[in-house]
Structure 1
Amino acid sequence: MKLLLKPLHVVYMIYAAIVFLVIMFLIIPPIFLASFLGRIKGGNIIFYFLRFWSYTWFPAVGIMVKRIYKHDKKDKTPYLYVVNHRSYLDAALAVQVMRLPFRPLGKIEMKRIPAFGYIYRQSVVMVDRSDAKARARSVREMISVIKEGVSILIFPEGTTNETDSLLQPFHNGAFRIAIETQTPIQPVLYLDNGKRLHAKGFNLNPGRCRVVYLPPVPVAGLTMEDLPALKQQVFNIMEQELKATV
């Protein structure tokens, strides 16, 4: 049976890639024009085109997104979103399910991908983890973005989790920025992305993608001395929810 399904899956993968690329090339011209409107206004407009991309591509390839709210979804407060990271689908899903406006923190290496790299440069705060000065610039940019009322999304594990653990240890960056800007943290979980497209290989599968929005964690009044405890608190919240739902 698996031998019979394998050719069908190859056809499905080719179809998914073609649809992905067609939508990408359709939105590049308006993204190019929006990029002239500035880092904040232009960037916010760009995300509406990225959202169209995501809303179109996911159902086209048979991936159904389900949102699960465990807090007041009407709340319009800018947040620092911290999200678990198990799949290359995570960024594509984020532009659909995270409340606009927001900016993700992304690896600088992705900007080198032909065509996609241009969109990437216009829509994320890039970080070069191998360069301390570059990391500092990224932090300053994220802080300035938050002060403009734009939320930030960070994968606190730092890279895709390819292990059997529910979560990898968190880096300090997200929690340092939250404390410095006094921005509340909202943990978010992507429960099924690793099943749809695992980080270890490009093997896309149709099915559901559940997104769980956990209650925000306030940081008002916290100082850098509280950073380790805050990081552990958020880690525990996310790990406990993963244990209960995965």
Structure 2
Amino acid sequence: MQVFKEIAGRVCAAWALVTFMITFLLVLPFALISYLFSEPASTAYFIRVSKVWMHVWFFLIGCRIRIRGTGNFKKGIGYVVTCNHNSLLDIPLSSAFIPGPNKTIAKSSFAKIPIFGWYYTKGSVLVDRKSETSRKRSIEKMKAVLRQGMHMCIYPEGTRNRTEALLKPFYNGAFKLAEDTGHPIIPAVILGTKQAVPLHKPFFFLPRTLEIHFLKPVEVNGRNTAALKEEVFGVMESYLSAHTEVEK
């Protein structure tokens, strides 16, 4: 049985890759229209296109999508959205299904990929982690995103969680951004992606239900970075612990 599962995982991974590339090429002309608009209308249009694309792609690869907690977003407020990070599927899931226009902090190296880089750049605040200048510039860009009424999505673990812990220790960036701007934080918990694309198996994918749960906002209320980080970590860790049955 395990042999059949391994074969199925590779076949499904190949199908997911092929359908991703085909649907990307089909949606790209519509996505590039977003460059004709000014912000935040530009990103709002881009996210609507992305959402349609992801609905189609996830359907083609056999993944059901379940979104909870969108009512925690209040109209006209830009939030710092913090997501756990387990898989390559996390970013397309979060970017497309965060309610309203949003951008994701992302590696600048991916923007160099031919053609895809145009799409990737539009939905991101790019940063070169090795460059102090780039990191400082990205902070100002994220503040601008929030000022324009958009949401800023950050993965505070920094990289995908390859440990047995529910969460890796958080970096300060998301919480310093909230402290500096006063914008509230919405913790977001992603479920299912770790099982769909296991980190320890190269080129492997099996369809399953993918979920993103948006939790109640954490207000800044004059608190510093350390206090905000501690509270959000605790909220997300407790929620993940309570939903471990979903992950099995």
- Regarding TM over 0.5, the answer is yes
Name the CA distance, whole Å, in 1 between partners of 2:176 and 2:6. 47
Query: 2:21 aligns to what?
Result: 21
Structure 2 counterparts to residues 165-204 of structure 1, below 5 A: 165-200=165-200, 201-204=202-205
Distance 1:39 1:134, change over 3 A: farther
Contact 1:88–1:198 (8 Å) recurs in 2: no
Q: Does residue 86 in structure 1 map to residue 120 in structure 2? A: no
Query: 2:213 aligns to what?
Result: 212
Name the CA distance, whole Å, in 2 between partners of 1:197 and 1:73. 29
Query: 1:232 aligns to what?
Result: 230
202-211 vs 147-156, which deviates more? Answer: 202-211
Contact 2:39–2:148 (8 Å) recurs in 1: no
* Residues 204-241 of structure 1: per-residue CA shift (max 9 Å, x gap): 1101112222111001333xxx2111111111111111
Q: Aligned to 2:157, what secondary structure does the other structure show?
A: coil
* Residues 163-182 of structure 1: per-residue CA shift (max 9 Å, x gap): 11111111111111111111
Contact 2:46–2:123 (8 Å) recurs in 1: yes
Query: 1:135 aligns to what?
Result: 135
Query: 1:40 aligns to what?
Result: 40
167-176 vs 202-211, which deviates more? Answer: 202-211
Distance 1:42 1:72, change over 3 A: closer
Unaligned runs of 5+ in 1: none
Contact 2:196–2:205 (8 Å) recurs in 1: yes
Q: Does residue 155 in structure 1 map to residue 155 in structure 2? A: yes
- What percentage of residue pairs aligned between the two structures are identical? 30
Deviation at 1:106, TM superposition (A): 0.8
Contact 1:54–1:95 (8 Å) recurs in 2: no
> Where in structure 1 do 4 or more consecutive aligned residues deviate above 6 Å?
none
Deviation at 1:75, TM superposition (A): 2.8
Letter aligned with residue 42 of structure 2: G
Name the CA distance, whole Å, in 2 between partners of 1:171 and 1:35. 32
* Residues 136-185 of structure 1: per-residue CA shift (max 9 Å, x gap): 10000010110110111000011111111111111111111111111000
Letter aligned with residue 243 of structure 1: S
CA RMSD after TM alignment? 1.8
Query: 1:112 aligns to what?
Result: 112
Deviation at 1:43, TM superposition (A): 2.4
Letter aligned with residue 215 of structure 2: L
Distance 1:22 1:245, change over 3 A: same
Unaligned runs of 5+ in 2: none
* Residues 61-100 of structure 1: per-residue CA shift (max 9 Å, x gap): 111112233x844632321100000100001111332111
Q: How many residues align?
A: 242
Query: 1:75 aligns to what?
Result: 74
TM-score by length of 2: 0.91
